[in-house]
Amino acid sequence: MNKRRVVVTGLGALTPIGNNIQEYKQGLANGVSGAAPITRFNAEKFRTRFACEVKGYDPVDHFDRKEARRMDPFTQYALIACDEAIKDSGLNLESINSDRAGVIWGSGIGGLRTFQEEVSTFSNGEGNPRFNPFFIPKMIADISAGYISIKYGFRGPNFVTVSACASATNALVDAMTYIRTGIADIIISGGSEAAVTEAGIGGFNAMKALSERNDSPETASRPFDKDRDGFVLGEGSGALILEDYEHAKARGAKIYAELLGGGMSADAHHITAPHPDGIGASKVMENALRDANLKPQDVDYINVHGTSTPLGDVSETLAIKNIFGEHAYDLNISSTKSMTGHLLGAAGAIEAIASVLAIEHQFVPPTINHFTDDESFDAKLDFTFNQAQEKEINVALSNTFGFGGHNVSIIFQKVTD
């Protein structure tokens, strides 16, 4: 069966370095750090007291108060990014076949703020089981896709993927598959997360996963730096309108890039640590290249998972050298998490957007906060340290890896016809 081509026709973002696509692009190009002291709650007693929060966010700027109270922030973020993406796509919602339009979203945790608040209220009371009637609908991860489909009347495939930090990229691969095989013509895909909460910070602190560089939060996310000490928790959302190529052409849509292929794999190694030899990371990139019908030398840029953790950065680099061989020295590598922090289940969405923007604007976003070389990494690799680079980019690959050993890679290509 001939696979239908899948293209990106709309983008939307709400990130720690920009509250829309234009701001996000500028933040990427200028190497802006989104890390700062936490404002969501009093973090004084926590080992980590900073995060990459969305800046200047007030839900009443986007929703009426009653509506906002019925949605966890992760759903609010999803709707805001989707609204921008739909408008950017130029879709006429009155003329499309809504039965063939769907929503496939990703979130690693879902309504953590809601869960924390409701359980805390119950625990601090007298034991009376008084819960908000919206507790469960606000908390469950799939409610984000539900809200999106209700808003736009999309009656096609509708679900949320949960694969930890690979969730949004998993959603994009699923959406690509549904369009390729003719089940849908249009799918809103991406991911959202809002885990900058006491439970989020405290839980990751307990795992010793977060940076504790409280004296310099803006430089705390430093992938591939010798002194990296963990990731910086981020929040936000990214949305992409994926569309059948012929459908997009017929309506005269702007096409950002083609989603050419995707791959998945499992480390089958450990619940949180990556395989030290990068076996799962190697396999997922190999699978993505095969699905896209590309050779390793066709890739110009890799937006790496690059979380700024001691183990993860090393294993991913080993995998890149294993798959790309000598070509690894000719391509650019960068971790945009150095700027945005780690958005967990939404990371793959904003990093997919960064890859698309790199193709559209022909630049490589930098890996900021590099101060000290680490002998664990091959010095001949181009990690695009500290400053964006102009470069001809026709093909970009984006990696996301999640707790549990979930690995997903996707490949975008510039469309010339």
Catalytic residue numbers read 165, 305, 342
From the CB of residue 67, how many other CB atoms can be counted at a distance below 10 Å? 14
Question: What is the four-CA torsion angle of 164, 165, 170, 171, rounded to 10 degrees?
Answer: 90
| Residue owning tokens 């990130």 | 15
Inter-residue contact 194 to 201 (CB < 8 Å): no
- Separation CA 11–CA 194 (nearest Å): 20
State the Cα–Cα distance between residues 115 and 385, nearest whole angstrom: 39
How do strand 257-266 and strand 6-14 relate by DSSP bridges? Answer: antiparallel
Other Cβ atoms less than 10 A from the Cβ of 321: the count is 19
> Residue 50's beta-bridge partner residues?
37
- Alpha carbon 310 to its chain centroid, in Å, reads 21
**Distance, CA of 230 to CA of 201 (rounded, Å):** 12
Q: In 9-72, which residue ranges form alpha helices assigned H by DSSP?
A: 21-30, 65-69
